[in-house]
Chain A
Amino acid sequence: MNILTLWFHKLGSPPTFYRLAGLLLPWCYGIGLLLGLVALYSGLVLAPRDYQQGDAYRIIFVHVPAAWMSLFAYAFMAANAFIALVWHIKLSEILAMASAPVGAAFTFIALVTGALWGKPMWGTWWTWDARLTSELVLLFLYLGVIGLNAAIEDRRQAARAAGFLALIGVVNLPIVHFSVTWWNTLHQGSTIRLMGPSKIDAAMAWPLLLMALATHIWFFGSVLMRARIALLQLEGGKDWVRKVALDEGAAGG
């Protein structure tokens, strides 16, 4: 077996993952928090005012990264669910289910900040625009996955069933992404593009991108944290968990 495959197989084993995640965790939270604070300061204070919207536009520094994360977290969950269903990897089941609540929280933040911005700009908290509706459906899909996962007694069967549901819901991802192009309703089109020039000023773009980076890192920290706890619960009776409990108990008390 070559070294990369060996490393990959080792990473998939719960004790190794638990240890590695524990090492990575403080870094994820630390860097995520630091970058997030810098991005927030530069977005809310340093970035120039918008000529049309004044200071109200500054909510995009939270809204847009949260909305990106809602899609990214779903894609991450679905990819892990796919791996879990095809290759029956326990760790992927755990990671998929760990990312569902985090993604749901980002979706919720995107919807709420959008509503807060919509009230002064559009004159309404909510409108049945294509982007808003599909994002709401995305939240419902997350909640369905979480609900199904919680409803089944057997943890591994629950993760597989909920993961399957997550895979069906992937249909919604392109709909959310392209909704502003396909249906020309109230929500504006994308201003930041990977391909081609963005339509945003560089002074506003960099805090936004920094915040996006911060939310990604924070997301992984959060998922690793949840995955570690879920692993301990799933493997409750095993030797390595007993060892971890004894070690941490000795270190803590």
Chain B
Amino acid sequence: MKPGGTAGACAALVRRDLTLVWRRRGDALNPILFALMVVALFPLALGPEPEQLRRIAAGIVFVALLLAGLLALDTLFRSDYEDGSLEQLVLSPHPLALLLACKIAVHWLTTALPLIAVAPLLGEMLHLPVAVRGVLLLALLLATPLLSLLGAVCVALTVGMHRSGMLLALLVLPLYVPVLIFGAGACNAAQAGLPFLAPLLWLAAALVLALVLAPLACAAALRISIS
């Protein structure tokens, strides 16, 4: 790995982002706490009957994680935009899409992966059947990178704005709908004893597509909003 090469730049970027997250590791807990609290609201609102909760558990966990991920999206480029390093990334001679893909990957590792790790706990709070847990985790593993990639494109569009939070949600949520339908659909099918492979394969196909296209789209969007 040459110091001036693209691989070197990507590695440096990943190391830097991981270090930044590690220095403020308390913040990394926030999405998890948020998801926990959202899930805790449902039994309080709907009543504690296990039968009812069991029926909607997978969907609630999915929505809670999706919302937590949505709130965490803002941190993807925020500090980089404020200290100017995002502009340096755009100006750098290395392919911007690749650098952004590294950033998105680190962001997914540090926000979505911890959320997936607590998903079994969230499921347990809502009496999710044990048999569905595996499908839920698998669906989340396929869906959350997809959410991060789609979200990153929208964040790139809103990056220069003050108070972009609400607008970002308006842009991102319509794009999240199909992911939610297939992800939660797989869990519901598994819970009903139906074949659940097809929605998971759809998610996987969409993920492959997004892995290729989303970083490119993200780069194009960033060039629009930084220009």
Judging by beta carbons under 8 Å apart, are B170 and A140 in contact? yes
Judging by beta carbons under 8 Å apart, are B221 and A144 in contact? no
A108 to chain B, nearest CB (A): 15
Judging by beta carbons under 8 Å apart, are A157 and B225 in contact? yes
Q: Which of A85, A137, A148 contacts B167 (CB 8 A)?
A: A148
Find the A residue at minimum CB distance from B220. Answer: A164
In the assembled complex, the Cα of A137 lies from the Cα of B173 at a distance in Å of 9
B195 to chain A, nearest CB (A): 16
Interface string of B196-221 (1 = CB under 8 A from A): 00000000000000000000010011
Residues of A within 8 A of B (CB): 85, 133, 137, 140-141, 143-144, 147-148, 151-152, 157, 160-161, 164-165, 168-169, 172, 175
Judging by beta carbons under 8 Å apart, are A147 and B167 in contact? yes
Enumerate chain B residues within 8 angstroms of A151, measured Cβ to Cβ: 158, 161, 164, 167
Residues of B within 8 A of A (CB): 153-154, 157-158, 160-161, 164, 167, 170-171, 173-175, 177-178, 217, 220-221, 224-225, 227
In the assembled complex, the Cα of A234 lies from the Cα of B21 at a distance in Å of 43
Find the A residue at minimum CB distance from B157. Answer: A161
Judging by beta carbons under 8 Å apart, are A140 and B167 in contact? no
Interface residues of A, dominant DSSP: helix
Judging by beta carbons under 8 Å apart, are B157 and A148 in contact? yes
Judging by beta carbons under 8 Å apart, are A161 and B224 in contact? yes
B140 to chain A, nearest CB (A): 22
B211 to chain A, nearest CB (A): 16
Find the B residue at minimum CB distance from A172. Answer: B174
Find the B residue at minimum CB distance from A139. Answer: B174
In the assembled complex, the Cα of A141 lies from the Cα of B170 at a distance in Å of 8
B165 to chain A, nearest CB (A): 11
A168 with B153, Cβ < 8 A, contacts A137-B174, A151-B161, A161-B221 known: yes
Can you list 7 residue pairs at the A/B interface with Cβ under 8 Å? A133-B177, A148-B157, A151-B158, A151-B161, A151-B167, A160-B224, A164-B224
